[in-house]
């Protein structure tokens, strides 16, 4: 038994070393990817439910690792945050996405709002408005075509910093979306306190919207509330015609999900745009 215990301990500590090593390697690889153009931005359309046309695109970062293939942003964004790489990464995503939106509108593919996810760190860095102004100036994208997405957790963390950051963005003409709405443990008071433009209904509510009366009730209530507050509401993670029909019938403004289009490279997203935007 003692023998076994020792083996267990050795096995355990090895696996911790392995994990630390894996983490370290991932960090190094990510640093390299950032330096050497190893990341890509994909785009997923946000579709107007009345017209069926794409009015916006969400920028979603992709990392195609040379050995491991695609690694999910949910896995490498936290690594980037811990390794101090998130500022560079976020700035690169925002710049790339805004340059793309500008190019699409100049090339006649259509004028779309570009939605970019903010990391918590970026939001609290204190220079967000400066970075955003910089990106808009260097890409030439009109500020009304940029939307930033933040989560409820970020909004709730530090009211003073949040208000300053959001008012600065608002003052520049950038719009502000609350991502994954309904999943954070937060009071609703922030909805009237901050200048928010868009609510994105989290896909966990959308998933069973057509079959579960509770989810249907929650989604309906979110839509009614958003509309009464003068906000645009977007249903996320729409995968079926039934989900889409529910959202449309209940007054949701826009939808985003695999049913319309998966996130795609700039080239494929442009094809989608040209097919769904021009009248
Ligand atoms: P998110 O902001 O909630 O983005 C939506 C996620 O849902 C994306 O996953 C998208 O591919 C996925 N999705 C879209 N439609 C459907 C659908 O119909 N069904 C299902 N099951 N999934 C759908 P992705 O691209 O893997 O990104 C995961 C998360 O990583 C994002 O969640 C966001 O929090 C974060 N992320 C992605 N790109 C960035 C970025 O550039 N910066 C930051 N800070 N975070 C990012
Ligand atoms: Ca998002
Ligand atoms: Ca989301
Ligand atoms: Ca239920």
Question: pLDDT tens digit string along 105-123?
Answer: 999 888 999 999 999 888 9
- Which of ligand 1's atoms lies nearest the C-alpha of 119? 44
- Whole-angstrom distance, CA of residue 209 vs CA of residue 215: 5
Residues 263 and 44 sit within 8 Å (Cβ to Cβ): yes
pLDDT, position 1: 43
The residues near 74 (Cβ < 8 Å, ≥ 6 apart) are none
**Percent above pLDDT 90 for the chain:** 75
pLDDT, position 216: 96
The residue whose CA has the least distance to atom 25 of ligand 1 is 60
Mean pLDDT in the chain? 91
Residues 154 and 135 sit within 8 Å (Cβ to Cβ): no
For ligand 1, residues with CB inside 6 Å are 44, 59-61, 72-74, 77, 90, 93, 117, 119, 179-180, 203, 237-239, 257-258, 263
The residue whose CA has the least distance to atom 21 of ligand 1 is 237
The residue whose CA has the least distance to atom 38 of ligand 1 is 60
**pLDDT tens digits, one per residue of 166-195:** 999 999 999 999 999 988 877 788 898 999
**pTM: predicted TM-score of the whole model, two decimal places:** 0.93
Distances 133 to 94, 106, 127, 230 between C-alpha atoms, Å: 11, 20, 10, 26
Residues 204 and 214 sit within 8 Å (Cβ to Cβ): no
pLDDT, position 112: 93
**pLDDT tens digits, one per residue of 141-155:** 999 999 999 999 888
pLDDT > 50? residue 94? yes
Q: Indicate if ipTM > 0.95.
A: yes
- Whole-angstrom distance, CA of residue 182 vs CA of residue 188: 10
Instruction: Please tell me the distance between residue 202's alpha carbon and the centre of ligand 3 in angstroms.
Output: 6
Residues 110 and 274 sit within 8 Å (Cβ to Cβ): yes
Instruction: Please tell me the distance between residue 206's alpha carbon and the centre of ligand 4 in angstroms.
Output: 13
Residue 230 exposed, middle or buried by CB count within 10 Å (0-12, 13-18, 19+): exposed
What phi-psi label fits residue 144: left (phi over 0), alpha (psi between -120 and 50 degrees) or beta? alpha
Counting Cα atoms < 13 Å in the Cβ hemisphere of 122 gives 27
Instruction: Please tell me the distance between residue 213's alpha carbon and the centre of ligand 4 in angstroms.
Output: 6
Residue 125: which pLDDT band, with cuts at 50, 70 and 90?
A: confident
Distances 88 to 29, 35, 81, 117 between C-alpha atoms, Å: 15, 10, 10, 14
- Which of ligand 1's atoms lies nearest the C-alpha of 93? 41
Comparison of pLDDT for 26 and 4, the residue scoring more:
26
pLDDT > 80? residue 2? no
**Which secondary structure element, helix H or strand E, spans residue 58, and what is its range?**
strand 54-65
pLDDT, position 143: 98
Instruction: Please tell me the distance between residue 98's alpha carbon and the centre of ligand 1 in angstroms.
Output: 18
- Which of ligand 1's atoms lies nearest the C-alpha of 149? 2
Instruction: Please tell me the distance between residue 116's alpha carbon and the centre of ligand 2 in angstroms.
Output: 7
pLDDT > 70? residue 9? no
pLDDT > 90? residue 6? no
**pLDDT tens digits, one per residue of 245-278:** 999 999 999 999 999 999 999 999 999 999 876 4
- Structure letter (DSSP) for residue 143: G
pLDDT, position 197: 97
- Which of ligand 1's atoms lies nearest the C-alpha of 258? 18
Q: Among positive and negative, which fits the CA dihedral 153, 157, 159, 165?
A: negative
């Amino acid at each position: 038994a003692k023998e076994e215990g020792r083996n267990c301990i050795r096995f355990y500590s090895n696996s911790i070393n392995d994990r630390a090593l894996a983490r370290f390697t991932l960090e190094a690889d990510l640093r390299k990817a950032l330096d050497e153009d190893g990341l890509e931005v994909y785009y997923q359309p946000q579709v107007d439910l009345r017209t069926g046309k794409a009015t916006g695109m969400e920028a979603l970062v992709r990392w195609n690792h040379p050995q491991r293939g695609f690694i999910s942003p949910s896995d490498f964004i936290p690594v980037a945050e811990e390794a101090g790489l998130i500022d560079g990464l976020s700035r690169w995503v925002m710049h790339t996405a805004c340059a793309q939106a500008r190019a699409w509108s100049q090339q006649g593919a259509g004028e779309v709002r570009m939605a970019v996810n903010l990391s918590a760190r970026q939001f609290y860095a204190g220079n967000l408005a400066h970075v955003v102004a910089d990106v808009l100036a260097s890409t030439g994208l009109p500020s009304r075509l940029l939307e930033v997405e933040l989560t409820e957790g970020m909004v709730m963390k530090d009211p003073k910093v949040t208000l300053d950051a959001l008012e600065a963005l608002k003052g520049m003409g950038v719009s502000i979306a609350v991502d994954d709405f309904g999943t954070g443990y937060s009071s609703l008071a922030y909805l009237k306190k901050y200048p928010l433009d868009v609510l994105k209904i989290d896909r966990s509510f959308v998933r069973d919207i057509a079959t579960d009366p509770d989810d249907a009730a929650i989604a309906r209530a979110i839509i009614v509330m958003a509309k009464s507050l003068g906000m645009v509401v977007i249903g996320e993670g729409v995968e079926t015609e039934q989900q889409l029909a529910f959202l449309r019938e209940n007054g949701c403004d826009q939808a985003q999900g695999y049913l319309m289009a998966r996130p795609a490279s700039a080239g494929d997203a442009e094809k989608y745009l040209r097919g769904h935007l021009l009248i």
